[in-house]
Amino acid sequence: MKSLVVYNKYASRNKAGKLVDKIRSSFDKYSISPEMFFADNAQQAFQHISNTDLKKYDNVVCVGGDGTLFQVINASMNKEVAERIPIGLIPIGTGNAFARDVNLTANNYDSAISAISKFNTRKIDIGKFTNSDGSHYFSNIIGFGFVTDVAQTANKLKVLGKISYTLGVVYHVAFLKPFNITVEYDGKKIDREIIFIEISNTRYTGSDFIMAPNAVIDDGLFDVTILTKTSRGRILRSLPKIFTGAHIHLDVVETFRASSLKISTTDPKALTPDGEILGTTPIEIECYPCAIDFIVG
């Protein structure tokens, strides 16, 4: 098996760079021939795949976190369907949210490489979002409002690990400000005053938050979660529920499924696709069912 390995050395606060020799040894152990490309950042991963003829490889393997995978997914989706090859993941990042939905354990590189050697693939849905900045793809989740504010703070606190997301939540509760949105989806239209909206392809976001507990990665639908206007105290009291997914039963949380959405806001809101900060509202989102073969655990 020949794998194009796109390796973000600086993932997980430079932890990935310290594992190069061990990961090479694990590839040898499972008789995989890796062609390694070491990226200094996630954007270099995008550029390398975009400029590479993938037909001479059996798969593309992403070594890094959700940000690196975001770039690998985008580069792959920008190619013609016939040029796309299966994607594998060695999840060594801060959040590793997507890995859970493909049965991979965060920071367990040996089990991930074992899964690649077995080459058990599953077709997964991919989301496409379009706004004034153009079009991009996501595999995990996209949202805005309070969740984006939290993600921006968590990125600054990555050195603290998983707790960075929780600290971001607590900090931004103090500056809570609801806003109005209009959502058109699958022939329906709603207007709401909200705290945040998340459009999920997978169950997890961040490190341990189960944003969409009923999401299925290959059903052709997004699971949409809206937190409507509520008090700061109630958000803090309800925070533990998001670790189990029980928050979706709160009366201030609205959920539904959709294959496409068009969302507008009174003022532009920054977007958070797969943990990245990229673009603003208004936005159109579309699900591409079973668009990529992904190597699962």
- Given a contact cutoff of 8 angstroms between Cβ atoms, the answer to whether 281 and 263 are in contact is yes
The structure tokens listed for 93 are: 């990042």
- Given a contact cutoff of 8 angstroms between Cβ atoms, the answer to whether 225 and 248 are in contact is yes
Q: Residue 263's pLDDT is what?
A: 98
- Given a contact cutoff of 8 angstroms between Cβ atoms, the answer to whether 250 and 239 are in contact is no
Which tens digit of pLDDT belongs to each residue from 187-217? 999 999 999 999 999 999 876 889 999 999 9
- Given a contact cutoff of 8 angstroms between Cβ atoms, the answer to whether 283 and 134 are in contact is no
Q: Residue 270's pLDDT is what?
A: 93
Q: Residue 141's pLDDT is what?
A: 95
Strands 253-258 and 141-145 turn out to be unpaired
Which tens digit of pLDDT belongs to each residue from 159-186? 676 677 777 777 878 778 899 999 999 9
Domains 2-119 and 134-289 share a fold: no
Which strand (E) or helix (H) includes residue 115?
helix 109-118
User: Measured between alpha carbons, how far is residue 159 from residues 13, 94, 104, 164, 243 in Å?
Assistant: 7, 9, 23, 8, 21
- Given a contact cutoff of 8 angstroms between Cβ atoms, the answer to whether 198 and 205 are in contact is yes
pLDDT at residue 111 is higher than 70: yes
Return the sign of the alpha-carbon dihedral for residues 173, 204, 59, 161. Answer: positive
Q: Provide the percentage of residues in the chain whose pLDDT is more than 90.
A: 68
Strands 179-185 and 283-295 turn out to be unpaired
Strands 253-258 and 260-265 turn out to be unpaired
- CATH assignment of 134-289? 2.60.200.40
Q: Which residues of 169-187 are buried (b: 16+ CB within 10 A; e: fewer)?
A: beebbeeeeebebebebee
Domain ranges of the chain: 2-119, 134-289
**Residue appearing with tokens 């670790």:** 243
Tell if the pTM clears 0.85, that is, is over it.
yes
159: left (phi over 0), alpha (psi -120 to 50) or beta: alpha
Q: Residue 24's pLDDT is what?
A: 93
Q: Residue 161's pLDDT is what?
A: 67
Q: Residue 85's pLDDT is what?
A: 96
Residue of 123, 138, 128 lying closest to 294 (CA atoms): 123
Mean pLDDT computed over 26-50: 91
d(CA 99, CA 93): 10
- CATH assignment of 2-119? 3.40.50.10330
Q: Residue 150's pLDDT is what?
A: 79
